[in-house]
Structure 1
Amino acid sequence: MEHQTRLPRSTPEAAGIAPQAVLGFLDAIRDRKLELHSFMLLRRGQVAAEGWWAPYKPEYPHMLFSLSKSFTSTGIGFAAAEGLLTVNDPVVGFFPDEAPETVTGNLAAMQIRHLLMMGTGHAADVTGSLRKDENWVRAFLAEPVEHKPGTHFAYNSAATYMLSAILRKVTGQSLLAYLKPRLFAPLGLTEGTWETCPRGIEVGGWGLNVTTEDIAKFGQLYLQHGVWEGEQILPAAWIDEATSFQIDNDDGRANDWTQGYGYQFWRCRHGAYRGDGAFGQFCVVLPEQEAVLAITSGVADMQAVLDAAWAELLPALSADAAPAPDAAAQAALEERLAALRLDPPQAEASSPAEARLDGRVFRLEPNELRLDSLAVRFSEQGAELTIGNDELGEQTAKLGRGAWTASRLRVGDVKQGAEQRVEGSFAWRNDDTLDIRLMLVETPFTYALACRLDGDALELTFTANVGWDPDKVLTIRGQAAALA
């Protein structure tokens, strides 16, 4: 059976939404200073509007963080449909060799459904404990289960890992291999990659990398109750169950994180539901409006992104009458979408200090980034930043003068470490301070390095656009070793 690889394209008006609404959404994102990387709005199965903020591109995969959870849940849906498991199966029963000597009543009562709904009975997320053990399953089962499963919501990525481990047990395959013929191939998704634990099991709760259009297709499959190109590939009953209210998570705040939780899907206001991931990765499904909104971004305030969608897009999607044709608004939207970009540092293109910095290798004091050395070599066209690290060795990123230039770097865990696309740029803030940006365009992250030269000494200030400690500023000092 032939499967389309791209969703059909339309215009907002043809899809029943005024282009002014999309312009309003883009205005709200800009005015709130939210760093979106891409968005794709689907209406009635067609792409009504889409945009990528350069240098992000449609073909680039993006790190999904916890949006991965919704894909893991889908794997459980397929396995249940094939009779390999039920959501009522006890978790501990899959792992007799890794269970603790004494299985408490609450652990014995924990079922697959409790993993799915984040109602394992743990008082809080236990993912940190898993990382201290090579065997994450054993570590999970050893954790105290303080509450009766199903009675206490605690967002817990370790629960999603257990779903991945259970799928490995019952299918004999990795989660990604299991999903490929059932989900990825029918929908025409890109290859995808998924981070694994020390024993090679996909982590489930995070670690999946796919494109924005892949996210949009995934949401459209759910909107269509599991039907794709006329074929029921995932049971409609599973989708209804997975996206419905399964457990209360109301903590008194009136926002989109307190509307109830399904099977690795969040309930939203306005009758919508979503999968989402840290720093603004979204797959929002609006059944009443026949719409899907896929977003990748690098934002700290994820609620602000949803607020912009509710304020600007929802009224237009909910309108009873089709919008009146407006050629000027459509032309303005097309122009706006074509011009979306994230600007590199804009200051002085060069400095008298360039000659003093050029080619000098600076040995850096011990630091949590584990950077050992830094050197910058300039040319008329741009520069090259070379950084040294004990695990990864020396690596070089290209930098454009006030413009983005592409290269590749290995970042993070050397064991997981595939090279990532990086866009680099630089500008001189003043005569002594060089501003460098490294945008990891397959992730939410952009790193800013401010290099201040003081004789033979270098002061390096490191910040990131988003992170687990968002206000953190690292200052690292270095000393010139020799001319390279």
Structure 2
Amino acid sequence: MAAHLLRVALHLSPGEHFVYDSGGSHLLSAALQSRTGMPLPQFLEPRLFQPLGLDTPPWAPSPGGVSLGGTGMSLLTEDIAVLAELYRRGGRWSDGDGGDRQLVPQAWVDEATRAHVDNGPSATVDWGLGYGYQFWRSRHGYRMDGAFGQFGLVIPELDLVVAMTAGTADSASELQLVWDHLLPGVDRAHGPAADGAGDDQLARRLGSLELAAPEFLAAPPAAAARVSGRAIALPFTTLGIATATLHLDGDRTTLETVGTDGSVERLGAARTAWVPGETRLWPHPELTSTRTGTRAGWVDDAAFEVHEQCIESAARRIWRFEFGDGDDVRLTVGLDLPFWTPRTERVAGRLA
């Protein structure tokens, strides 16, 4: 990948025109690994993650084994807050035991977070205020900005950081909510309440949130007894599946797939709850498995759906089995991934 990027012709001089390009970031990762002999996460572990008290995050590699420099790092919301707070503090961090270290030079914090190139005008104002070294300038401070609405906002004038993880293609509206509702509520004079009442209220609110569930029939139709446990033979699919079988047991479901290579995967689901699990049937070859929560049920008398929600990303995959009067089955597998065009595959199968 790095060799390919270096062969791309430059049509303008550096700094002349802004183009968002993750390739340059990947070249930095490749250069670091070539020089140190360590992939980026391993290099950062003792220098950044451990001093901050963070576990080394999963970081997807390129086909050549180099950590993707411009994407692919999976962080908890709390981890994003820690990284944003590190920059708010000018790169300095206290370890809780009286130690205090300058993990990132103050001069680099200042240099990386100022605008180095004009990226405006833009239809969304916060994407047209200048770009630094991996940081975007905002109407208020600056930010780390990832796909699907992942943000680490640093607002120095309020001594404030805001961390957000989301699953949206409209991250501009998400950011606007912060400017319109959160910032006006910040008490610049007094800071947080001493009794922690606000923290308790926020914790209760967060604890009550849950992922919206798909709507299924309360009771299975007559077709359930006819199709349960019978393998559905499938033609070639990009998922590499030879057969799929629905094992139905009341509100519980197991989707069993047999790959064209003979591998077997069983995915548990329930009608009334998300069942945790993982799958290898995912369209990203750099991921060996993907953690999911799955629900399944009948949506009408002839159609059964399995909803796989990724736990560590915004993606959801939906398997829809439509059963005819005979043994014919129409299978639709859709991958709903905000920010990119949904991917759908439709195949005609047959009950064995």
TM-score (ref. length: structure 2): 0.90
- The 5-angstrom pairing of residues 390-409 of structure 1 reads 390=260, 393-409=263-279
Where structure 1 has 5 or more consecutive residues not aligned to the other structure, the ranges are 1-135
Counterpart of 2:177, as a letter, is A
1:337 aligns with 2:203: no
Query: Displacement of 1:197 after TM fit?
Result: 2.1
Give the alignment partner of residue 410 of structure 1, picking from 266, 270, 280.
Answer: 280
Tell me: CA distance 1:243–1:440, structure 2 relative to 1, closer, same or farther (3 Å).
same
Alpha-carbon distance in 1 for matches of 2:331, 2:180: 41
Q: Secondary structure at the match of 1:269?
A: coil
224, 233, 252: which one pairs with 1:354?
Answer: 224
Partner of 2:310: 440
User: Which residue of the other structure, out of 155, 164, 174, is the alignment partner of 1:295?
Assistant: 164
AA matched with 1:285: V
Inter-partner Cα distance in structure 2 for 1:391 and 1:284: 46
Q: Is the aligned partner of 1:423 residue 2:293?
A: yes
Structure 1 residues 352 and 314, CA gap change in structure 2 (3 angstroms): same
Where do 5+ consecutive residues of structure 2 fail to align?
95-99
- CA deviations over 1:362-387 (Å, ceiling 9, x no partner): 12233444443321101235010123
Change (3 A) 1:276 1:370: farther
CA distance in structure 1 between the partners assigned to 2:79 and 2:224 by the alignment = 44
1:261 to 131, 144, 150: 131
| Alignment partner of 1:376 is 2:241 | no
What amino acid sits opposite 2:63 in the alignment? P
The answer to whether the aligner puts 1:143 opposite 2:12 as a matched pair is: no
CA contact (8 A) 2:124 2:172 kept: no
Give identity over the alignment, percent. Answer: 34
1:241 aligns with 2:118: no
> CA offset at residue 248 of structure 1?
0.7
**Shift in Å, 1:389:** 3.4
Match of 1:314 among 172, 180, 183: 183
User: What per-residue deviation string (whole Å, max 9, x for no partner) do you get for residues 142-192 of structure 1?
Assistant: 111111112111111111110101112332322111101100110011132
Q: Is the 8 A contact 1:345 1:436 kept in 2?
A: no
Cα deviations by residue, 1:47-88 (Å, 9 ceiling, x for unpaired): xxxxxxxxxxxxxxxxxxxxxxxxxxxxxxxxxxxxxxxxxx
Q: Does 1:175 align with 2:175?
A: no
- Distance 1:284-1:371 versus aligned 2 partners, 3 A rule: farther
Question: Does the C-alpha gap of structure 1 residues 321 and 155 become closer, same or farther in structure 2, counting only changes over 3 Å?
Answer: same
The answer to whether the Cα contact below 8 Å between 1:242 and 1:263 also exists between their aligned partners in 2 is yes
Conserved 8 A contact 1:411-1:417:
no
Verify: 1:456 aligned to 2:327, yes or no.
yes
Is this contact kept in 2: 1:391–1:414, CA < 8 A?
no
Q: Matches of 2:179 and 2:311 in 1, distance apart?
A: 27
> Cα gap change, 1:392/1:162 in structure 2, threshold over 3 Å: closer, same or farther?
farther
Aligned pairs for 1:40-79 within 5 A: none
Q: 1:327 to 1:214 in 2, by over 3 A?
A: closer
Shift in Å at residue 321 of structure 1?
Answer: 5.1
Alignment deviations for residues 6-41 of structure 1 (CA, whole Å, 9 cap, x no partner) = xxxxxxxxxxxxxxxxxxxxxxxxxxxxxxxxxxxx
- For residues 464 and 287 of structure 1, the distance between their equivalents in structure 2, rounded to whole angstroms, comes to 39
**Residues 259-284 of structure 1: CA deviation (Å, up to 9, x unaligned):** 111001111112x2111221122211
Q: How far, CA to CA, are the matches of 1:392 and 1:295 in structure 2?
A: 41
User: Per-residue deviation at 1:412?
Assistant: 3.2
1:386 aligns to 2:253 (yes or no):
no
Paired residues in the alignment total 345
Q: What do the CA deviations read for 1:280-316 (whole angstroms, capped 9, x no partner)?
A: 2221111112122222221111111111111111111
1:221 corresponds to 2:221: no
**Matched ranges for 1:262-277 at <5 A:** 262-270=132-140, 272-277=141-146
Q: Is the 8 A contact 2:158 2:188 kept in 1?
A: no
Give, in angstroms, the shift of residue 222 of structure 1. 0.7
State the match for 1:154 in structure 2. Answer: 19
Pick closer, same or farther for the CA change 1:435–1:289 going to 2, 3 Å. same
Structure 2 counterpart of 1:422, one-letter code: T
Q: Is the 8 A contact 1:344 1:426 kept in 2?
A: no
Which structure would you say has the larger RCO, counting Cα contacts within 8 Å and 6 or more residues apart? 1
Query: Structure 1: how far apart are the matches of 2:199 and 2:88?
Result: 26
Instruction: Name the CA distance, whole Å, in 1 between partners of 2:14 and 2:42.
Output: 30
**Which moved further from structure 2: 225-234 or 467-476?**
467-476
State the shift of 1:323 in Å. Answer: 7.3
Q: CA RMSD in A?
A: 2.4
Work out whether residues 41 and 56 of structure 2, in 8 Å CA contact, stay in contact via their aligned partners in 1: no
Task: Return the alpha-carbon distance in structure 2 between the equivalents of residues 400 and 382 of structure 1.
Answer: 4
1:353/1:195 Cα in 2 relative to 1: closer, same or farther (>3 Å)? same
**Deviation of the 1:139 alpha carbon:** 1.0
CA distance in 1, matches of 2:315, 2:121: 30
Q: Does 1:477 align with 2:348?
A: yes
TM-score by length of 1: 0.66
> Are 2:236 and 2:242, in contact at CA under 8 Å, matched by a contact in 1?
yes
